Amino acid sequence: MHNPTTDSLGPLRQRARAALERDDVAAAERDFSRLLEQVPEDAEALQFLAARHLSRGDAGRAVDMLGTVSRKQPDNASVWYQLGSAQMAGGDFATAADSLQRALERVPRMFVARLRLGISLQQLGREDDALVAYFSAINSAQAQGRWLSDQTTPPGMREAVKFAMSYVDIGRHNLFDAVIEPLRQKHGAGALERVEHALAIYLGEKPPNLPDARQKPKFLYFPDVPSQTFYAQDRFPWHRDLEAATETIREELREVLNQGADKLEPFLGTHEPEALYTHLSSSGDEDARWDAFFFYRHGDRYDNHCRRCPKTIDTLDAMPLVRIREHGPEALFSVLRPGTHILPHRGVTNTRLVTHLPLIVPSDCALRVGGETHVWEPGRCVTFDDTFEHEAWNDSDQTRVVLIVDSWNPDLTDVEQQAVSDLVAAIGDFNRACELPDAT
């Protein structure tokens, strides 16, 4: 029995490829068909001929051919994508969704595959899953400079992309509006008006119309509350208890510091200078270093740390901290090493504010918010809105430490705080399903 060699098939394959280069599809099809007669499982020939069958409406034949290739090349994302597209053309949306998922597992940035996945899931009646797929497709495409306009969208895809965008706009609004509906039913529509306005701004349905140009929240802007950099202490009755505990908290802090820097962790997740140059700078010979000893981080409680500082955590747990599933509270000892400058940056939302209780404050240390400078006073709380650009520095030769806690903006009602908690958690869930970074 004759088995053709790679060398003997070379000229045939080259002729087929050359025909494609000069757009002679018919000649390419003839040569690939001859090649397939000699090697029935040749992947290149099968993929090309499957596309030709699909163009003529023979989805079944295309699926058969591509199924052969997928078994031979199970890690080839383009094969799974092509197979999924053929299965969609044949009306087998369930199997198509599985094939497209396999393509995306191998190459997550295939935004056209995500778009087709959304179509398949919608056809299957899986509306929530389709919403995630469409939103992920749009975000992935736009992150790569595509689907930003008609000019960056192929003509044959424009209607499908516009449909996906409309589907996402309606779907996200309905999804997040449903989150606050129980509170609306319980407390009345009037109690949620500002929350609805905030949601509309987040979704891009309304402009933020920020009253202060210095304020630019990265995630969620809550409208119709005063915009200000620093807040008066009389807005926070719990400041008195926190300040009264200063010496006790400082004693526990010193025990932590005495046990060495290895008990701390980098606030930004790394100490590598090349990863931090946009966040930190140093005025001395040593690298900039911003460390943390967390009690709560994104809502997670650090039990070992809490046990080491029992009086501190008792004080914190008696405070009205922001509690949002997988997001808050946030509470820590913030340890700024000598010569370190935290460069200007902005926070995510004005629904919560940041409070510092200064514990160890050398000279030449300060905080600047919205261009207004504040010099820490040991044992005296300062609260500010971090959606204004802010920075902090330690130009001394000693370590500076403040206790940082997040609390609700006092201009939100209890109902609004609950609604924001529910919304932020739901947005986080949705973004995680879409494999997006969490902005909060």
Q: For the domain 230-411, what is the CATH code?
A: 2.60.120.330
Confidence tier at 225 by pLDDT (50, 70, 90): very high
Which stretches does DSSP call E strand in 269-351?
280-282, 290-297, 300-301, 331-336, 340-345
CA dist 57 and 150 (Å) reads 28
CA neighbor of 360 nearest in space, from 375, 344, 377: 377
Judged against a pLDDT cut of 90, whether residue 273 lies above it is answered with no
SS3 sequence of 328-391? ECCEEEEEECCCEEEEEECCCECCEEEEEEEEECCCCEEEEECCEEECCCCCCCEEECCCECEE
pLDDT at res. 1: 43
Judged against a pLDDT cut of 60, whether residue 211 lies above it is answered with yes
CA dist 157 and 106 (Å) reads 23
Judged against a pLDDT cut of 60, whether residue 3 lies above it is answered with no
Written as six digits, the tokens of 116 are: 């087709």
Judged against a pLDDT cut of 80, whether residue 261 lies above it is answered with no
DSSP conformation class of 259: T
Q: Stretch 389-411: mean pLDDT, rounded?
A: 97
CA dist 304 and 281 (Å) reads 31
Tokens 């790679």 appear where? 6
Could you report the per-residue pLDDT of 5-34, keeping only the tens digit for each? 545 568 888 999 999 999 999 999 999 999
Tokens 């199970």 appear where? 74
Whether 368 contacts 239, CB under 8 Å? no
Could you report the per-residue pLDDT of 47-103, keeping only the tens digit for each? 999 999 999 999 999 999 999 999 999 999 999 999 999 999 999 999 999 999 999
pLDDT at res. 4: 57
Whether 104 contacts 78, CB under 8 Å? no
Backbone angles phi, psi at 115, to 5 degrees: -60, -45
Please, what's the b/e burial string for 37-46 (b: 16 or more CB within 10 A of its CB; e: otherwise)?
eebeebbebb
Confidence tier at 254 by pLDDT (50, 70, 90): very high
CA dist 115 and 163 (Å) reads 10
> Into which CATH architecture does domain 6-169 fall?
Alpha Horseshoe (1.25)
Written as six digits, the tokens of 352 are: 């919560």
pTM: 0.88
pLDDT at res. 438: 62
CA dist 387 and 369 (Å) reads 9
Mean pLDDT score of the chain: 94
Q: Stretch 194-214: mean pLDDT, rounded?
A: 96
Judged against a pLDDT cut of 90, whether residue 322 lies above it is answered with yes
CA dist 144 and 59 (Å) reads 31
Written as six digits, the tokens of 414 are: 């209890």
Domains of the chain: which residue ranges? Answer: 6-169, 230-411
Tokens 């099968």 appear where? 46
